[in-house]
Amino acid sequence: MKYQAILDKAKKYRQLVKQVDDLALQNWEAAFEIEYTHESTAIEGNTLSLMETKVVLEDGISVGGKKLREIYEVVNHRKAYRFIKQRIAEGEKLDEATVKDIHAILMENIFAGGFYRNVNVRITGAAHTPPEPEEAYRQIKNFFADLDWKYQDDPITCAAWTHAEFVRIHPFVDGNGRTSRLIMNYQLMKNGLLPVSVPDVQRLEYFKYLEEYAVNNNIEPFADFVAAMEEKRLDDLLKNLKKV
């Protein structure tokens, strides 16, 4: 398998992490949760800094000069991330109802989420135009039917495809990017891998690979991008484990 070395690292991590005390694990997870929330919302234009995101999430303090929507976006994102972790812990597979629930959580106090769009949408600066509402509805139904078998022998490509195909269809009026990154991580974690976060400095690269898939149906560059993020997280945490 193309990403076998990364899967082997993940197996090694799962074995070694059992020896780490709960407090250390909680600290690592809390740090990732804040970083992931900040980066995933920043990609969509949220202006809270990493420190401001930390203040909102850890201390429950609002940040002056920021739009209320931006505060809700980071609070909701953490809730949605914790929701998918709970679903995975319960052994639940990714399905349509779960994705709608994720979107509804992301949109709490912003607008009613969990409903497919009935209007056309465009992605600013992108060569790809999402399908019209009726066609998007047909394609999203096919997407969920394909989840049960698409790249099931290759969990990294499966996760990459889940993100890329979902965001290509763009089934919701807003929140498709955040939803697609969460369901990508759902697929990674379900298969014993670590969740990943797209660094701000790689934003343009990230968009380029998603467009390559949307326009040319080529998932390989984006799968390699996801694999590189996964390997970096594993390498960082394996170093932490040695220190512990």
DSSP 3-state assignment of 36?
helix
Q: Which position has the token pair 């953490």?
A: 78
Residue 241 is predicted with a pLDDT of 83
Catalytic positions, written as ranges: 170
d(CA 15, CA 42): 34
pLDDT digit string, tens, across residues 183-240: 999 999 999 999 999 998 999 999 999 999 999 999 999 999 999 999 999 999 999 8
| Closest to 185 (Cα-Cα) out of 243, 107, 99 | 99
pLDDT digit string, tens, across residues 39-98: 999 999 999 999 999 999 998 888 888 999 999 999 999 999 999 999 999 999 999 999
CATH number (domain holding residue 115): 1.10.3290.10
pLDDT digit string, tens, across residues 112-165: 999 999 999 988 777 888 999 999 999 999 999 999 899 999 999 999 999 999
Residue 64 is predicted with a pLDDT of 82
* 243 pLDDT higher than 80: no
Look up the domain containing 8 and give its range.
Answer: 4-243
Is this structure's pTM higher than 0.85?
yes
For 31-42, b/e burial (b = at least 16 CB within 10 A) is ebbbebbbbbbb
Domains identified in the chain, total number = 1
Task: Please compute Rg for the chain using Cα positions.
Answer: 18
Q: What does 53-82 look like in DSSP terms, one character per residue? A: HHIIIII----TTS-HHHHHHHHHHHHHHH
CA 133 to chain centre: 24
